[in-house]
Amino acid sequence: MHELSLIAGMMDLIRNSADKNQITQISRIKLVVGKLSMALPHSLSFAFETLAQEELFKDAELLIEEREICCQCQQCQQQYVAEMPSRLFCPYCGSSDTQMLTGRELFIEFYEGD
Protein backbone atom coordinates (compact mmCIF):
# COMPACT_ATOMS: atom_id res chain seq x y z
CA MET A 1 0.00 0.00 0.00
CA HIS A 2 1.46 3.24 -1.31
CA GLU A 3 -0.04 5.39 1.49
CA LEU A 4 1.60 3.33 4.25
CA SER A 5 5.09 4.12 2.97
CA LEU A 6 4.18 7.78 2.46
CA ILE A 7 2.95 8.05 6.04
CA ALA A 8 5.96 6.13 7.36
CA GLY A 9 8.23 8.63 5.55
CA MET A 10 6.27 11.58 6.89
CA MET A 11 6.51 10.22 10.42
CA ASP A 12 10.29 9.81 10.05
CA LEU A 13 10.60 13.46 9.05
CA ILE A 14 8.48 14.64 11.96
CA ARG A 15 10.26 12.34 14.41
CA ASN A 16 13.63 13.82 13.40
CA SER A 17 12.37 17.37 13.55
CA ALA A 18 10.58 16.84 16.89
CA ASP A 19 13.72 15.33 18.33
CA LYS A 20 15.76 18.41 17.37
CA ASN A 21 13.14 20.70 18.89
CA GLN A 22 12.64 18.69 22.11
CA ILE A 23 9.04 17.94 21.23
CA THR A 24 7.79 14.78 22.90
CA GLN A 25 4.12 14.87 21.99
CA ILE A 26 2.66 15.76 18.62
CA SER A 27 -0.84 17.25 18.72
CA ARG A 28 -1.61 18.08 15.09
CA ILE A 29 -0.18 17.34 11.68
CA LYS A 30 -1.38 19.07 8.54
CA LEU A 31 -0.80 17.38 5.20
CA VAL A 32 -1.45 18.91 1.79
CA VAL A 33 -2.31 16.32 -0.81
CA GLY A 34 -2.84 17.08 -4.50
CA LYS A 35 -5.51 15.08 -6.29
CA LEU A 36 -2.87 13.82 -8.71
CA SER A 37 -0.44 12.71 -6.01
CA MET A 38 -2.14 9.28 -6.18
CA ALA A 39 -2.56 9.25 -2.40
CA LEU A 40 -6.12 8.89 -1.14
CA PRO A 41 -6.93 10.95 1.97
CA HIS A 42 -8.91 8.18 3.68
CA SER A 43 -6.08 5.71 3.02
CA LEU A 44 -3.59 8.20 4.46
CA SER A 45 -5.73 8.58 7.59
CA PHE A 46 -6.03 4.83 7.92
CA ALA A 47 -2.28 4.36 7.45
CA PHE A 48 -1.62 7.00 10.08
CA GLU A 49 -3.96 5.34 12.60
CA THR A 50 -2.23 2.04 11.95
CA LEU A 51 1.30 3.39 12.33
CA ALA A 52 0.88 6.07 15.01
CA GLN A 53 1.09 3.79 18.05
CA GLU A 54 4.21 5.22 19.64
CA GLU A 55 4.14 7.83 22.41
CA LEU A 56 5.13 10.72 20.15
CA PHE A 57 2.13 10.31 17.83
CA LYS A 58 -0.53 8.66 19.93
CA ASP A 59 -2.63 11.82 20.53
CA ALA A 60 -1.88 13.44 17.20
CA GLU A 61 -4.65 14.54 14.90
CA LEU A 62 -3.98 14.26 11.18
CA LEU A 63 -5.54 17.00 9.05
CA ILE A 64 -5.54 16.53 5.31
CA GLU A 65 -6.18 19.27 2.78
CA GLU A 66 -6.90 18.01 -0.69
CA ARG A 67 -5.82 20.33 -3.51
CA GLU A 68 -7.54 20.53 -6.87
CA ILE A 69 -5.66 19.98 -10.11
CA CYS A 70 -5.16 23.55 -11.33
CA CYS A 71 -3.75 24.24 -14.75
CA GLN A 72 -2.84 27.27 -16.80
CA CYS A 73 -3.03 27.32 -20.56
CA GLN A 74 0.16 28.53 -22.22
CA GLN A 75 -1.77 29.63 -25.31
CA CYS A 76 -4.58 31.75 -23.88
CA GLN A 77 -3.30 32.07 -20.28
CA GLN A 78 -6.63 30.98 -18.77
CA GLN A 79 -6.49 29.09 -15.50
CA TYR A 80 -8.87 26.25 -14.81
CA VAL A 81 -9.50 23.30 -12.53
CA ALA A 82 -9.11 19.93 -14.22
CA GLU A 83 -11.38 17.21 -12.90
CA MET A 84 -9.05 14.40 -13.85
CA PRO A 85 -5.79 14.02 -15.79
CA SER A 86 -7.83 13.42 -18.96
CA ARG A 87 -8.97 17.04 -18.75
CA LEU A 88 -5.55 18.61 -19.05
CA PHE A 89 -6.54 20.14 -22.40
CA CYS A 90 -7.53 23.77 -22.10
CA PRO A 91 -11.35 24.03 -21.97
CA TYR A 92 -11.18 27.54 -23.46
CA CYS A 93 -9.10 27.05 -26.59
CA GLY A 94 -8.46 23.27 -26.67
CA SER A 95 -4.70 23.61 -26.53
CA SER A 96 -2.68 20.79 -25.00
CA ASP A 97 0.08 23.25 -24.14
CA THR A 98 -0.95 23.55 -20.50
CA GLN A 99 1.00 23.71 -17.32
CA MET A 100 -0.09 22.18 -14.05
CA LEU A 101 0.10 24.68 -11.19
CA THR A 102 -1.15 22.48 -8.35
CA GLY A 103 -2.34 18.91 -7.99
CA ARG A 104 0.84 16.85 -7.64
CA GLU A 105 1.93 18.18 -4.27
CA LEU A 106 2.23 16.07 -1.17
CA PHE A 107 3.89 17.72 1.80
CA ILE A 108 3.63 18.46 5.50
CA GLU A 109 2.37 22.02 5.83
CA PHE A 110 3.00 22.11 9.57
CA TYR A 111 2.93 20.08 12.71
CA GLU A 112 2.35 21.13 16.29
CA GLY A 113 3.39 19.63 19.56
CA ASP A 114 4.91 20.21 23.00
Q: Is 81 helix (H, G, I), strand (E, B) or coil?
A: strand
- Using the 8-state DSSP alphabet, how is residue 57 labeled? G
How far is residue 75's CA from residue 112's CA, in Å, rounded to a whole number? 43
17 close to 103: Cβ distance less than 8 angstroms: no
> Is 90 a residue that touches Zn ion (CB under 5 A)?
yes
Q: Is 34 helix (H, G, I), strand (E, B) or coil?
A: strand
Q: Rule CB under 5 A: which of 9-68 touch Zn ion?
A: none
Q: Which of 93, 99, 107, 112 contacts Zn ion by CB under 5 A?
A: 93
> Is 95 a residue that touches Zn ion (CB under 5 A)?
yes
The residue count for binding Zn ion (CB under 5 A) is 7
> Is 75 a residue that touches Zn ion (CB under 5 A)?
yes
> Is 76 a residue that touches Zn ion (CB under 5 A)?
yes
Give contact residues for Zn ion (rule: CB under 5 A): 73, 75-76, 90, 92-93, 95
